[in-house]
Structure 1
Amino acid sequence: ATESYVKAHSKTLKYIVLGLLGAGYVAYFVAACVLDFQRATALVVLTCLAVAAKSFELVKKYKGKSISRCFRPAVICFKSNLKWLKWVFIVAVVVLFVLWLVIDTSKRPEQLISFGGVCMFIMLLFLFSAHRAMISWRPVFWGLGLQFCIGLFVIRTQPGLIAFDWLGKQVQIFLDYTKEGSSFVFGDLIADIFAFQALPIVVFFSSVMSVLYFLGAMQWLILKISWFMQITIGTSPTETLSVAGNIFVGQTEAPLLIRPYLKDMTRSEIHAVLTGGFATIAGSVMGAFISFGIDASSLISASVMAAPCALAISKLSYPETEQSLFTSEKNIKVACGDEQNILEAASSGASASIGLVANIAANLIAFLAILAFINQAFSWLGGMVGYPEITFQLICSYVFMPVAFMMGIPYDESFTVAELIGTKLFLNEFVAYQKLSGLKSNRLNGLDEVIGGERQWISIRSEVITTYALCGFANFSSLGIVIGGMSAICPVRRGDISSLVLRAMITGTCVSLVNACIAGLLFVPSLDCVQLFNVSAFDAADGNIQKCCQDLFKSTFYNGTIWFEGPWGSVPNVNASFFKCCDCCGLSDVPVCML
């Protein structure tokens, strides 16, 4: 009787249970916000995203057709006037961009070098395009435009800076949970040994990604990103889906999303899929880079910006010359995993990472050993003619120096960054990021900028630009991995994959470099007043000194004494700095300066 009653009223009971759960969550949410809203920020963000996503689905499902009918006259009118409206839009965008560029770079002319770098790479790709006459400029300009807009939001706007800084911190907090598992297995070894610090993060992240795939969360997110890029850039749903997947997964995992369709894709679409893999890094590997001390928000934004740029640059390097069989995303289905429950999905993800972890460790051992041998060989050969200081890094510093300089790196730092670019291209990004981590550590530890003629660290702006430039799997060691992995997924296209992979790798490298140029064009380092007062002489004509003095004067005057809050408290002789501000910056009439 109970069973039949439940079956008969299953719908009502379902709504009652969902209503109770919803009411309980609302009560919990309100209580969390009232008690400590700052602490509940992550909960608020996640709740808003979930509500927005569900609301969009419900509106689309129940009111989508009605809304479409309301806007149909406007759509028809727009399409009938598309020819001239398109040109109005293009002219408006170009004029606005030129005005912004002139106004913005008038304060920081060095940013124009980065813009010149973007133009240089676009011109080179155009000159070496496989089919110049067949280039469709819509994907190129829309892809670069989306990349620029994302970069502008992330790097320049206050909401973007706050959002990605917050996201980066949450990712770091999340990845720190790896220590619970790795410390249980390896004990105190995780404190000093790289393999026990960074590589377990890959296992943890892979396991989490597998769970998200099982739940369908990753497929949903990738499909939404893919849909947006497809309607704007105008690329086919299959290639767009794969490139969107590359934001989160690796160069051989993302094509699995479109496995049933690979055999029927055009050569240009396959080239785009390959380029997307080379231009981005997997989420699991990103976790390892974050553990090195590389800025998390820069890595995340670099991966997101690389997706539309990869489609744009790919269509410039290898334009579409065939008719794609895939024109609508409605026919594209993304499969879920075969796991039966969450525990199996977590275990499967952890097991799947074993090969990746072993591959990373083996490659690091091999490439660092090979690098040491090559350096010794160059030194021996150079010593024969009186130049024993020749190394692989030194050669790269001269070969890639123009590339680094055109990204916006200052001339005196461009040789150091050029070494990292060469290391990434000829060895791999792990070795390059490890070296960048060392440079960042030296800066934070206060080492001299140059010791024995060798640069010990680079500026914050150069660090950010370099982080973008290295963010991709494009290196010669990846060629075999991609050919093997992609050929296993679709054996009938092995010939096309093998013939396109080198061009795709070079194109993927250009994507990362264009990404770095955009970062160089947009990034403005914040003024570190504490460091400035530690290392600079007071100069009333220096605008930075004046800004910092104003900031210093915002400190609190408490009970008749001067005291300093926040980072100012750590400045040696801060009282002396305070009164120097009174003397040099026209602040002597401020009451506190009269003490």
Structure 2
Amino acid sequence: MKYLIAIVGVLVIFALTYIASSDRRHIRYRPLAVMIVLQAVLAFVLLNTEVGSVLIGGFAGVFESLLDYAKEGTNFVFGGLVYEGQGPFFMNVLLPIVFISALIGILQYVRVLPFIIRYIGLILSKINGMGKLESYNAVASAILGQSEVFISVKKQIGLMPKHRLYTLCASAMSTVSMSIVGSYMTMIQPRYVVTALVLNLFGGFIIASIINPYTVKKEEDLLEVQEEEKQSFFEMLGEYIMDGFKVAITVAAMLIGFVALIAMVNGIFNWIFGISFQGLLGYVFAPFAFIIGVPWSEAVQAGSIMATKMVSNEFVAMLELGKMTMSTRTTGIISVFLVSFANFSSIGIIAGAVKGLHEKQGNVVARFGLRLVYGATLVSLLSATIAGLFL
């Protein structure tokens, strides 16, 4: 039964994507078929094989060690307040972002990450049939983050037509940055985080290839990545440490605001209608939860978490998921859905990042902001559906 529902789910997702396509006649179906098969194979390997368990265990082990190292710095500053019993969320989950951001900065400085990003991007461009720049950007987004990635392609931003700019922004919204992956792993199981990272990479190309199909001419596809201005090692390190701290503070501020607002809105809806706002959204999103593989008996709960992620952010939704009791399979499907930046607040983040580099293009991004959220949400739905086949 789950296989039939998954097939129906994929067809519904493709239908919703096809409806929003800007040029249906130029959709190239062969790369789409290849990437769907790759998604299924990778999901099976990661979730149902010993090789996948070893890979995920190794990846999770690395981040577990990094989080332990991060605790040393946090504990030095905050003393015994943090890790005795139940520590504050900000200190346990968000402050490790500072250390991981510093580590990413070091790997950037010694040219390890640029090498990996460039050549994985080139390989992906052979599979997805899209431009080299788009493929580079997708890999870079998954490591650097949805705002920082545009700095590396700032020379091309002003020269890009609207359709290519959409794909770059869609990739940034469909992935998550490596600096916060460790934080996710403290809230949901690492196997779901890793699976989502891999599936979203291909899912972003699949959905963008339908919503926004185009062909890049060879002369338009020059992969010239902007090198960062040369800094001394400690200048770079200080900058990345501060960037990581800004991310932690930003996420904390958004959590304070969104959690408080949702609590207030829930109270108002309970008083007037006898049902919380999240409960109401749960009914709206329940059909979507069902088509991605969630049993109908849990669809309203799952739909509520999905809606929370879209109207607030993935951290708020993960906190809500941790409070609910659902089956292992449903928890896995929803966990995969949550690992992306597909929410309304990301419109402002991405548009602001592009506008800081090129004002006119930033305005262009803001105008197709809702289309970005729509496409990125479909990516999350597709990844969750594929993962559900093997849970």
Shorter-chain TM band: over 0.9
Instruction: Give the conservation status (yes or no) of the 8 Å contact 1:275–1:310.
Output: yes
Deviations 1:56-94 (A, max 9, x none): xxxxxxxxxxxxxxxxxxxxxxxxxxxxxxxxxxxxxxx
Q: Secondary structure at the match of 1:372?
A: helix
Instruction: Give the conservation status (yes or no) of the 8 Å contact 1:378–1:392.
Output: yes
Distance in 1, Cα, partners of 2:94 & 2:232: 27
Distance in 2, Cα, partners of 1:247 & 1:235: 18
Q: Secondary structure at the match of 1:400?
A: helix
Instruction: Give the conservation status (yes or no) of the 8 Å contact 2:347–2:366.
Output: no
Distance verdict in 2 for CA 1:321–1:229, change over 3 Å: closer
Structure 2 counterpart of 1:379, one-letter code: N
Q: CA deviation at 1:195?
A: 1.3
Instruction: Give the conservation status (yes or no) of the 8 Å contact 1:147–1:308.
Output: yes
Match status 1:200 vs 2:68: no
Q: CA deviation at 1:186?
A: 0.9
Deviations 1:263-291 (A, max 9, x none): 22232211111111111111122221222
Distance in 2, Cα, partners of 1:348 & 1:242: 22
Distance verdict in 2 for CA 1:138–1:327, change over 3 Å: farther
Instruction: Give the conservation status (yes or no) of the 8 Å contact 1:264–1:325.
Output: no
Distance in 2, Cα, partners of 1:281 & 1:433: 14
Q: Secondary structure at the match of 1:264?
A: coil
Q: CA deviation at 1:299?
A: 0.8
Equivalent residue runs for 1:579-594 within 5 Å: none
Q: CA deviation at 1:391?
A: 0.6
Equivalent residue runs for 1:164-563 within 5 Å: 164-191=56-83, 192-292=87-187, 294-320=188-214, 325-329=219-223, 332-336=224-228, 338-341=230-233, 343-382=234-273, 388=274, 390-439=275-324, 457-523=325-391
Distance in 2, Cα, partners of 1:394 & 1:519: 25
Equivalent residue runs for 1:128-143 within 5 Å: 128-143=20-35
Structure 1 counterpart of 2:213, one-letter code: P
* TM-score (ref. length: structure 1): 0.63
Distance verdict in 2 for CA 1:301–1:335, change over 3 Å: farther
Instruction: Give the conservation status (yes or no) of the 8 Å contact 2:348–2:366.
Output: no
Structure 1 counterpart of 2:148, one-letter code: E
* TM-score (ref. length: structure 2): 0.94
Structure 2 counterpart of 1:320, one-letter code: Y
Distance in 1, Cα, partners of 2:155 & 2:327: 47
Aligned residue in 1 for 2:12: 120
Distance verdict in 2 for CA 1:141–1:349, change over 3 Å: same
Q: CA deviation at 1:295?
A: 1.2
Q: CA deviation at 1:438?
A: 3.1
Identity %: 27
Q: CA deviation at 1:260?
A: 1.0
Distance in 2, Cα, partners of 1:397 & 1:516: 17
Distance verdict in 2 for CA 1:145–1:246, change over 3 Å: farther
Distance in 1, Cα, partners of 2:334 & 2:242: 33
Q: CA deviation at 1:138?
A: 3.6
* Residue of structure 2 aligned with 1:155, choices 13, 25, 47: 47
Q: CA deviation at 1:321?
A: 7.0
Structure 2 counterpart of 1:410, one-letter code: P
Structure 1 counterpart of 2:208, one-letter code: S
Structure 1 counterpart of 2:69, one-letter code: Y
Deviations 1:411-430 (A, max 9, x none): 11111111110000011111
Structure 1 counterpart of 2:6, one-letter code: S
Distance in 1, Cα, partners of 2:328 & 2:68: 25
Deviations 1:475-496 (A, max 9, x none): 1122112111111122232332
Q: CA deviation at 1:402?
A: 0.7
Q: Secondary structure at the match of 1:305?
A: helix
- The root-mean-square deviation of aligned C-alpha atoms, in Å, is 1.8
Instruction: Give the conservation status (yes or no) of the 8 Å contact 2:311–2:343.
Output: yes
Instruction: Give the conservation status (yes or no) of the 8 Å contact 2:130–2:215.
Output: no
Aligned residue in 2 for 1:588: none
Q: CA deviation at 1:498?
A: 2.0
Aligned residue in 2 for 1:541: none
Q: CA deviation at 1:310?
A: 0.3
More divergent stretch after superposition (283-292 vs 217-226): 283-292
Structure 1 counterpart of 2:235, one-letter code: E
Q: CA deviation at 1:403?
A: 0.6
More divergent stretch after superposition (222-231 vs 297-306): 297-306
Distance in 2, Cα, partners of 1:206 & 1:325: 36
Distance in 2, Cα, partners of 1:346 & 1:322: 37
Instruction: Give the conservation status (yes or no) of the 8 Å contact 2:278–2:308.
Output: yes
Where in structure 1 are there 5+ consecutive unaligned residues? 1-108, 383-387, 440-456, 524-595
Structure 1 counterpart of 2:280, one-letter code: I
Distance in 2, Cα, partners of 1:264 & 1:310: 22
Distance in 2, Cα, partners of 1:504 & 1:129: 12
Q: CA deviation at 1:135?
A: 1.8
Deviations 1:151-175 (A, max 9, x none): 2321233212221222212221222
Distance in 1, Cα, partners of 2:220 & 2:369: 22
Distance in 2, Cα, partners of 1:259 & 1:156: 41
Deviations 1:485-535 (A, max 9, x none): 111122232332122222111100110110000000122xxxxxxxxxxxx
Aligned residue in 2 for 1:91: none
Q: Secondary structure at the match of 1:235?
A: coil
Structure 2 counterpart of 1:156, one-letter code: N
Deviations 1:317-338 (A, max 9, x none): 1222775753354xx2352453
Q: Secondary structure at the match of 2:342?
A: coil
Deviations 1:28-54 (A, max 9, x none): xxxxxxxxxxxxxxxxxxxxxxxxxxx
Distance in 1, Cα, partners of 2:151 & 2:220: 17
Instruction: Give the conservation status (yes or no) of the 8 Å contact 1:279–1:511.
Output: yes
Structure 2 counterpart of 1:298, one-letter code: Y
Structure 2 counterpart of 1:485, one-letter code: A
Deviations 1:181-236 (A, max 9, x none): 00111122223211111121111111111111101111111112101110111111
Instruction: Give the conservation status (yes or no) of the 8 Å contact 2:207–2:375.
Output: yes
Instruction: Give the conservation status (yes or no) of the 8 Å contact 2:151–2:226.
Output: no
